[in-house]
Amino acid sequence: MARAASLSGFPEWLPADRIVEERVIDLLKHTFELHGFAAVSTRALEPLSALAKDGEIDKEVFAVSRLHGDGTDAKNPLGLHFDLTVPFARYVVENAGRLSFPFKRYQIQPVWRGERPQDGRFREFVQADIDVVGEDALAEHFEVEVPLVMAEAFGRLSELGVPPVRILANDRRLIEGFARGVGLTDIAAVLRGIDKLDKIGEEKVAELLAAEAGADARQQELCLALARIESPDASFADEVRALGVSHPLLDEGLGSLTRLLEAAHRRAPGTVWAQLKIARGLDYYTGAVYETQLVGHEDLGSVASGGRYDALASTGKRTYPGVGMSLGVSRLMSRLVGADRMVESTRSVPTAVLVAVSTEADRPASDAVAAALRARGIPTDVAPAAAKFGKQIRYADRRGIPFVWFCDGETGHEVKDIRSGEQTGADPDVWTPPADDVWPRVERV
């Protein structure tokens, strides 16, 4: 087979790095399940109409069609989902009669976006989502629980060398109420402009606010002044009020974000900060919004984000409001095993023991030893060829396999630790490697 052209933005990890990714996912699943979140999985494809908002899609969606389609596909074109929240909303509506509310779910799956690949941004990437969804109403305290669960997940990932995080919060009602209070009406344009602040800077954002939202110089400066406010506690509210803008929706957003910061500070001081430039680009958010920074790696951008959405899932008669966050597993992996590698696996394969083969006629004896070890939960492989023992040991060493088993040593069955060179007699029905060697471990570099 000829070498295929590489496709940028579609990460394919080597085996050792895949072990790191699996460990990350295992820790996330464990944390989410400790807090009562149940696993779900949704299909990769959705109708393009479901991925669109009022007929428009602001994300670069990959459209999908059959190579040998019969012409009917055009009536209901399909696309790969660009996040896990939109398909989850559909899932809730379709299964509402079989779910108990409030429903807490986690979901770890790939998503696809046709964006320009860059550091930490891919076209295919794995996300790990948590959401709490209610029926017709959802208590405000879940807006505190969700970011704190995500913070705890990052805390568990710290054992792998993941740096600490800071979760930044804002409220869409606060931004919208402030914009209306200064006399602006194109709220979507204001949100788009503020959402680009970190990428293009204040001067360019001011130009966008003027061109797209019709903001004059005073309105531009007030919006930028709001976006500059950041606080580790509820004191941000006084700074907002000092700007002299009033609107009922602003008061609502201020009150909600203040309660969130106060509750988060009681439960996990310093974990959640108010940062009023956070707008989030997706337009289904209606309340609290979150972004997460790795301390010392802020250049990577947000590694977990989300917010409250009140109208995304609805049947017309019933509405299922929710709040959730999505952690970018692939984005995190790009920093953990990227150019400035932070962690590594102790070996590139799960195998702890390689059973040597003296001659091909003796392979059944080697297979029997391997079966006995596997029956006791020890990952074991059998040498691929009956080569010289030195060659079989080198084969194990290249893969990081710590032990080689010989069926016909001087004392019968013997096992060799190829790191230390120590070789001792062993019984396949009893012998067990040290606990740290049974499975690969992920360690800081």
Type of residue found at 148: L
* Residue count (the chain): 445
Q: How many other CB atoms sit within 10 Å of the CB of residue 131? A: 27
- pLDDT band of residue 71 (cuts 50, 70, 90) is low
Domains of the chain in start order, with CATH, are 13-162+309-345 (3.30.930.10), 165-294 (3.30.930.10), 350-444 (3.40.50.800)
CA gap 24, 334 in Å, rounded: 13
DSSP states of 237-300: HHHHHTTT---HHHHHHHHHHHHHHHHHHHHSTTSEEEETT---S-TT--SEEEEEEETT-GGG
What is the per-residue pLDDT across 313-327, written as a single tens digit (0 to 9) for each?
888 889 999 999 999
Q: What is the pLDDT of residue 55?
A: 43
Asked if the model's pLDDT at residue 5 lies above 50, the reply is yes
Asked if the model's pLDDT at residue 104 lies above 90, the reply is yes
Q: What is the pLDDT of residue 198?
A: 86
CA gap 420, 5 in Å, rounded: 43
Q: What is the pLDDT of residue 49?
A: 85
Report, as an integer, the average pLDDT of 380-398. Answer: 96
Report, as an integer, the average pLDDT of 277-296. Answer: 88
Q: Which helix (H) or strand (E) holds 349?
A: none
Q: What is the pLDDT of residue 205?
A: 93
Asked if the model's pLDDT at residue 2 lies above 60, the reply is no
- The separation between the first and the last C-alpha atoms of the chain, rounded to the nearest angstrom, is 37
The whole-chain average pLDDT of the chain stands at 92
Asked if the model's pLDDT at residue 26 lies above 90, the reply is yes
What residues does 403 pair with on adjacent strands? 353, 417
| CA distance readout (Å), 27 to 20, 30, 157, 241 | 11, 5, 7, 42
CA gap 129, 28 in Å, rounded: 10
Asked if the model's pLDDT at residue 93 lies above 50, the reply is yes
DSSP states of 93-118: HHHGGG--SSEEEEEEEEEE--PPPB
CA gap 443, 115 in Å, rounded: 32
Q: What is the pLDDT of residue 51?
A: 85
Report, as an integer, the average pLDDT of 339-346. Answer: 90
Q: What is the pLDDT of residue 56?
A: 47
Q: Which helix (H) or strand (E) holds 276?
A: none
Extract the tokens encoding 384.
């691929």
CA gap 69, 380 in Å, rounded: 46
What is the per-residue pLDDT across 9-21, written as a single tens digit (0 to 9) for each?
999 999 999 999 9
Q: Are 63 and 107 in contact (CB under 8 A)?
A: no
Q: Are 318 and 96 in contact (CB under 8 A)?
A: yes
The residue to which tokens 């705890």 are assigned: 152
Is there a cis peptide before residue 102, judged by omega within 30 degrees of 0? yes
Q: What is the pLDDT of residue 200?
A: 92
Report, as an integer, the average pLDDT of 341-367. Answer: 95
Q: Are 89 and 59 in contact (CB under 8 A)?
A: no
For the beta sheet containing 63-64, the strands, ordered from the edge strand earlier in sequence to the opposite edge, are 45-47, 78-80, 63-64
Residue 330: phi, psi to the nearest 5? Answer: -65, -35
